[in-house]
Each structure stands twice: as C-alpha cells, then as structure tokens.
Structure 1
Amino acid sequence: MPTAHVLELAVCTVTDKEAALAARRKAIEAVSRYPGFVSWRAATACETADMFADLVEWESLEAAQAASKRVMSDPDFAPYMATIGTVQLMQHFLTEQHK
C-alpha cells in the first residue's frame, strides 16, 4: 500500500519575475537535496505575470516542516526569498490514496 505524501503549496507574488525565475531554479536544486524531498512543480500564473505557485512533494509533514526551517538559513535559497513580495498561501496538504 502506498504511503501518503505531503504536498506543500506556496503561492506568492514576486518583485522581479526574471530574477525570481533564475533564483527559483537554484532553490529547486538546493531543496532537492533535503531529506524527504520527492518533487517540485513550479508554475507561473497566466493572467498575473508576477504570481508564482510552487507545489513541493515531501515524504512526510515532518520533512516539509524541517525544510521550511532550513530554507530560512540556506544561502542557495536566499536569492529566491529576496524576490518574493507577498505570500498569498503557504499550506501543507495530505494526499489521498485511491484504490
């Protein structure tokens, strides 16, 4: 039986789209090495050019919470944080398993 993972959904606006795109690529590389990381899907809103959504999958809520603390002091994540103007949503979700 598959284990339920945790999805972390972050929606934010950025102050400089081009800088944010480059910084997000580096942030993804850094976070992909964190314990419990599964995947990261990065999206940019079609109608709102400065709005980003990041859907990060973790093996557990504990791994997601540990990563949330770690990014605050990770120098490879800092440039992405610097481009974020406002956070619209930051939430963790349990995935549902269907047979």
Structure 2
Amino acid sequence: MTENTVLEIALCTVADKPAAEEARRAAMAAVRHYPGFVSWRALNSTDQRDMIADLVEWADKASADAAATKVQADPAFAPYMAAITGVTLMQHFETREAI
C-alpha cells in the first residue's frame, strides 16, 4: 500500500514530563483541526526519561508548512512549546510505502 502523506518527526527533550504531556494533549486538541491534519502519535522514550517524540501525519508538505507557521501564534500550542527544553530532530518525510 502506498500513501502520499508527509510525516513530521519531532524528537525533543523536556524538563517536566507530566507538564509537557498535559501541554501536548492541549496542543493535539488544537492541531487536529488544522487543514491537512491526518494524525498525531505522542511518543515517550522508554530509555531516556526526558525525551519525547511526536509523529504527526499531514496530507501534504504544504499543510505541514502552514501548520508550522500557525502553531507559532496559536495560544493552545504555547504551553507545549514552553515545555520543550531542546529539539534534537524536526524533519518532514514523504511516505513512500506502508503495510
């Protein structure tokens, strides 16, 4: 099966994981209404307590780019951005194949 979507992978560190998780839930509730949003998987590292990852699927790169601009001004997203102490990776990937 092939899907033409874009996956956004953000690998971050946080100082206060419970606060970051609460802020992330609020951000997810807002972003799910953005144009082109498909899904968001919130991941927590099993090996590194302060590391989290977000896997967000967008219909296309234009939607991902528009969302990146919109979250900067979205008050629902501000607490989550404030909870992040570092970004190790923030990258977009085209989906080529899936099973």
Aligned pair count?
99
Aligned to 2:27, the other structure's residue is in SS state helix
Counterpart in 1 of 2:29? 29
Cα-Cα RMSD: 1.6
Alpha-carbon separation, structure 2, partners of 1:91 and 1:98: 19
Alpha carbons of structure 1 residues 97 and 47: separation in structure 2 relative to 1, 3 Å:
closer
Give the TM-score normalised by structure 2: 0.95
- For residues 33-91 of structure 1, give each alpha carbon's deviation from its aligned partner in whole angstroms, at most 9, with x where no partner exists: 00000000010001111100000000000000000011011000000000000000000
Give the TM-score normalised by structure 1: 0.95
Stretches of structure 1 that go unaligned for 5 or more consecutive residues are none
Structure 1 residue runs of 4+, over 4 Å off?
none
Counterpart in 2 of 1:54? 54
